[in-house]
Amino acid sequence: MTAPPLLTIDKLSLDFDTRSGTVKALEDIDLTLNKGEILGIVGESGSGKSVLSFAIMGLLDEAAKLRADKISFGGMALNAKSVAEMRGRELSMIFQSPRTALNPIRKVGKQIEDVLVRHAPLPRKAAKSAAIAALRQVRIPDPERRYNAYPFELSGGMCQRVMIAMALACDPTLLIADEPTTGLDVTTQAVVMDLIRDIAAERNMAVILITHDLALAGEYCDRVAVMHAGHIVEVAPAAQVAQNALRHPYARRLFAATPAASAELEDLAAIPGSLPDLRGTLPACRYMARCEIARPDCAQAPLPAHDISPSHLVRCRYCP
């Protein structure tokens, strides 16, 4: 018997009321995540990847209006109260830019302690030993000494490991990693991603990896969800990425714009146009104005979903 998904999202939409109009940030998001699975969410900057993670974590502004037919985690419905109780324990997140996410005037070990005291909960004396153990688990050399370091005394890669240690301190069931390799050199990126993958496998922990790097998602994830302008346009096994077998026109363009080690500069193809303004009336397909195969009826709702296989879904009226 197949185990039920750890996370289920049905028809999630999210709007923000602003002075210049209502921003339709997310629309009709359907997503599932199994325990122990690594799901990559990819797309251009502004496509809605981070705001989706904030919606799952319950970290939304008062101007946000969230609607969903269903959001459940571990079989329990998620709402503002339940997600606040789970956050930091069952649900945890690695934020972008560790140097800005960490408190610059507080020792990194103390910051991990704060998480343990608040969410574990542990007494302060026991939390110190646990914080050092957390630093050791993310392979920081000499963790007893690094415990007393300030963020400015550590490299970008070390700061990212501290953020990972903080996120994993309370042994979460789901980890959301929001652009965890941004600003890191290629070698350090691989070290950080190997670390996340190894710990996820060791703990049977589910991971949502948010990235603009389709190649990175294809290498480290089990499945990949492609986002464009607040829509998930394709969900496919990561092997489809490696084989260049994505079907949605935007996903194919995103793949063509991803650098490869063997590619020449002229091989890269920019995606034409830009993301649409998410205020006002929008067509059913938000990629329509940029799409080379669009037809007039692409503007008509509903946007159809095609099951290419049991694990491969595309939302496009005329996908190839």
Beta strands in 249-311 (DSSP E): 305-309
55 in Cβ contact with 154 (< 8 Å): no
Question: Over the stretch 206-253, which tens digit does the pLDDT of each residue have?
Answer: 999 999 888 889 999 999 999 999 999 999 999 888 788 899 999 998
Do strands 38-42 and 223-228 pair parallel, antiparallel, or not at all (unpaired)? parallel
Question: Over the stretch 22-44, which tens digit does the pLDDT of each residue have?
Answer: 999 999 999 999 999 999 999 99
- Residue % of the chain over a pLDDT of 70: 97
For range 276-293, the mean pLDDT: 93
Query: Is 263 a residue whose pLDDT tops 70?
Result: no
104 in Cβ contact with 150 (< 8 Å): yes
Query: Is 267 a residue whose pLDDT tops 70?
Result: no
* DSSP per-residue letters across 77-114: E--HHHHHHHBTTTEEEEPS-HHHHS-TTS-HHHHHHH
Of the candidates 187, 266, 254, which has an alpha carbon nearest to the alpha carbon of residue 217?
Answer: 254
123 falls in which pLDDT band (50, 70, 90)?
confident
CATH class of this structure's domain 7-90+172-315? alpha beta
End-to-end CA distance of the chain: 34
Which of 95-99, 117-121, 259-263, 314-318 bottoms out in mean pLDDT, i.e. has the lowest?
259-263
Output the pLDDT for position 106: 95
Dist. CA 52–CA 13, nearest whole Å: 9
Output the pLDDT for position 83: 87
